Amino acid sequence: MTSTSGIILAISLIIIMFGMGLSLTLADFKRVLSFPKAMIIGLACQFITLPLIGYLIATSLDLSPTSAIGIMLLAACPGGPTSNMLTYLAKGDLALSVSLTAMASVLSILTIPFVMQFALAEFSSMDQTVSVDAGTMIKQLLIIVLIPVGIGMYVKGKFPKFSAKMEKPVKIASAIIFVLVVVGVTISIKDVFMMYLKEAGLPAILLNISTMTLGFLLAVWFKLTRPQAISISIETGIQNGTLAITLATIALNNAEYSIVPAVYGLLMFVSATVIIFIRKPLGVTQ
């Protein structure tokens, strides 16, 4: 991927994260105190369960270094703004979903560099080794995640009417951008994409289904409400694929690491759609 493509990808993610900021307020972060048990379970699923499942999948399926690193990169990323929309459609706890997305996005700035350092050391072959500087990646994450979200929140606070009008169009634009990103990445690595597609499909499906299922079961086990369980399930299984693709191409300088996130980004909507259709006929919120 050329430097120009990398810049376009970064700008695309910045727009998406700005859109997420338009839907957030400081009150969303304060909700951590309102849902202590649900937040702890949700964040534990995001930062402990998800990387562990990703590692188990990568090692048990004996994946190539490229796919293994791709699955770990994806598992390290937080849920994206799409998870909030899907939670709403599935009649989950939207306030909890937004709070989890906000907290996970901030915390992941510190956790992603270290997960990737581990993944590269664990799975890279001698001729594929890529060093990742935690400090540099944190700076990149601040620029493409935290600052755009902060600006979006500032705009929402200062110009609530404008942000209310822009929230839906930006969400639609974010979805379009995501699709274009996946298509663009696929075209840029078309020579190797088909070679890895067969291998990437199974781990992507396993990661999505297993994390969503485990997130839901843990929430039920800890006696959370059904809407809270739905939120945690979606937040655990719907990852920020655009962030993973951006980090693969810019921070890790290897677009091939984005194959698993690209495949996952398409497959995750299938499982989410199933949940939505299951919940729709029920028409319940308890």
Residues in the chain: 286
Integer Cα distance of 55 and 43 in angstroms: 18
133, pLDDT greater than 60:
no
Q: Nearest to residue 104, comparing CAs of 164, 146, 144?
A: 146
User: Higher confidence at residue 215 or residue 145?
Assistant: 215
pLDDT at 127: 46
Indicate the domain borders of the chain.
3-276
Amino acid sitting at position 285: T
pLDDT at 43: 93
CA distances 215 to 19, 31, 119, 196, Å, are: 26, 20, 23, 28
Check: CB of residue 86 under 8 Å from CB of residue 237.
Answer: no
Amino acid sitting at position 170: V
For residue 171, the surrounding DSSP H or E stretch is helix 160-188
Residue 201, Cβ neighbours under 10 Å: how many?
15
- How much of the chain, in percent, has pLDDT values that exceed 90? 14
CATH class of 3-276: mainly alpha
User: Higher confidence at residue 139 or residue 204?
Assistant: 204
pLDDT at 1: 46
For residue 58, the surrounding DSSP H or E stretch is helix 50-60
Mean residue pLDDT across the chain: 77
Ranges 37-51, 119-133, 140-154, 197-211: which has the least confidence:
119-133
186, pLDDT greater than 80:
no
* Predicted confidence (pLDDT) per residue in 56-86, tens digit: 999 998 888 888 998 999 899 887 667 776 7
Integer Cα distance of 126 and 259 in angstroms: 21
152, pLDDT greater than 80:
yes
- Write phi, then psi, for 24 (nearest 5 degrees): -115, 150
- Write phi, then psi, for 127 (nearest 5 degrees): -90, 0
